[in-house]
Amino acid sequence: MTSGTGLDLEQHQKEALERIGEAPDEAALELLRVQFLGRKSAVSRELSRVGGLPEEERRQAGQQANSVKRAIRAALENRAQALGMVQAGSLAVAEAIDLTFPGTLPRRGHLHPVMLVMRDMEEIFRGLGYDVARGPEVELDYYAFEALNIPVGHPARDGFDTFFVAPPGSDEEADPTAEGRVLLRPHTSPMQVRYMERYRPPIKVVIPGKTYRRDSDATHVPVFHQLEGLMVDEGVTVADLRGTLEYFARAMFGDDRRIRLRPDHFPFTEPSLEVHVSCFQCDGRGCALCRHSGWIEILGSGMVHPNVLRFGGIDPEQFTGFAFGMGIDRIAMLKYGVDDLRTMLENDIRFIRQF
């Protein structure tokens, strides 16, 4: 039917429906939508002219134009839905998963160098017959200091720069000079006494774990790792200590390593000994790593003080023992050539993957 303006609406609708039904994709469909329903389309122009028709023709012409518009719009929606189903079917075929085809393995993580060294150290001492024990990181003042021959007021306490914990329910700062305080352990040595309280000699144990002090620079951080060693039995001497630590140094840094013992002082050992290993970078000739001395300090050690044995419930007249402690982070730095300890804490996956 031809409207009063000369547009054959039926023919126009027929052409639109045919072309929409043949639209190959969504882009072509959008072009047809603009052509047949856009502001400049023939149907839109027809609707804009309805108002100028005589009153007796206006109603019929408007109804016809709107009917054509609805038909074209419905055809566009149907075609869009059909194209969507075709596309979904194509994707289903293209992206189908073949369960028989080898999958892509997920990227695996990697152990931190400190953890790698800790495990190596544990295995070395297990090979010597040592047990591996763990202890609480939140510790009592008694085990951290008192039972290790460091009473309240002892100057050695100042060197630990300890994190004390305020009593539960209290907003007051913990008094580091008071007895019975709770703290974050500044070393793994408290487990010496805890272990002696629980087990009788012969005792051979290493205690790895986290420790806490108020330090932060290139070689110190507030949270670090230590490994404590303890042996108690009848007739234990400094020779046993030296042989144990020399075996450890060679197992960790190479078969040709040598160690030397130098006098030192620790409240919980007597005598106390500082242990150095021959430089594994220059083979003892002198370099920047060993500060041109040929030796690198790796740990502190000594014979267990009789008072510490007594605190552990062991008779120092019958038994003797040795103890040693070393920073696992420092050993890892030396083993892998890391210059700044803070690098270990940055969680940079590029750094961790090197190991």
Q: Which of 64, 94, 124 is the last residue of a domain?
A: 94
Instruction: Classify residue 99: in a domain, yes or no.
Output: no
Q: Which of 94, 126, 144 is the last residue of a domain?
A: 94
The per-residue DSSP string of 128-183 comes to TT-EE----SEEEHHHHTGGGT--TT-GGGGGT--EEEPPTT--SPP-TTSTT-EE
pLDDT tens-digit map of 121-131: 999 999 999 99
Quick one: pLDDT at residue 137?
92
* 137 and 48 inside one domain: no
Residue 5 has pLDDT above 50, yes or no: no
Q: Which of 35, 63, 94 is the last residue of a domain?
A: 94
Separation CA 166–CA 300 (nearest Å): 31
* 123 and 42 inside one domain: no
* 146 and 236 inside one domain: yes
Instruction: Classify residue 100: in a domain, yes or no.
Output: no
Instruction: Classify residue 18: in a domain, yes or no.
Output: yes
* 155 and 272 inside one domain: yes
∠ CA 219-221-222, rounded to 5°? 155
Quick one: pLDDT at residue 334?
86
Domain hosting 23: range is: 9-94
pLDDT tens-digit map of 134-159: 999 999 989 999 999 988 877 777 76
Instruction: Classify residue 217: in a domain, yes or no.
Output: yes
* 84 and 171 inside one domain: no
**What total of structural domains would you count in the chain?**
2
* 72 and 142 inside one domain: no
Instruction: Classify residue 27: in a domain, yes or no.
Output: yes
Residue 175 has pLDDT above 60, yes or no: no
Instruction: State the average pLDDT over residues 163-184.
Output: 66
* 88 and 141 inside one domain: no
Inter-residue contact 141 to 183 (CB < 8 Å) = yes
* CATH code of 348's domain: 3.30.930.10
User: Which amino acid, residue 167?
Assistant: P
Percentage above 90 pLDDT, the chain: 40
Residue 306 pLDDT level (bands cut at 50, 70, 90): very high
Tokens at 284, concatenated: 């003892």
Separation CA 257–CA 183 (nearest Å): 38
**More confident position, 119 or 9:** 119
* 277 and 160 inside one domain: yes
Separation CA 195–CA 205 (nearest Å): 9
Instruction: Classify residue 164: in a domain, yes or no.
Output: yes
- Cα 219 to chain center, whole Å? 21
Q: What are phi and psi of 236, to 5 degrees?
A: -70, 135
Instruction: Judge residue 275's burial from the number of C-beta atoms within 10 Å of its C-beta, 0-12 exposed, 13-18 middle, 19 or more buried.
Output: buried
* 61 and 152 inside one domain: no
Residue 244 has pLDDT above 90, yes or no: yes
Helix (H) or strand (E) holding 266: strand 259-266
* 81 and 15 inside one domain: yes
* 54 and 130 inside one domain: no
Instruction: Classify residue 203: in a domain, yes or no.
Output: yes
Separation CA 313–CA 316 (nearest Å): 9
Exposure pattern of 27-47 as b/e (b: 16+ CB <10 Å)? eebeebbeebbeeebbbeebb
Inter-residue contact 319 to 234 (CB < 8 Å) = yes
DSSP, collapsed to helix, strand or coil, labels residue 43 as helix
Instruction: Classify residue 101: in a domain, yes or no.
Output: no
pLDDT tens-digit map of 51-81: 666 766 667 777 777 787 788 888 888 878 8
* 81 and 120 inside one domain: no
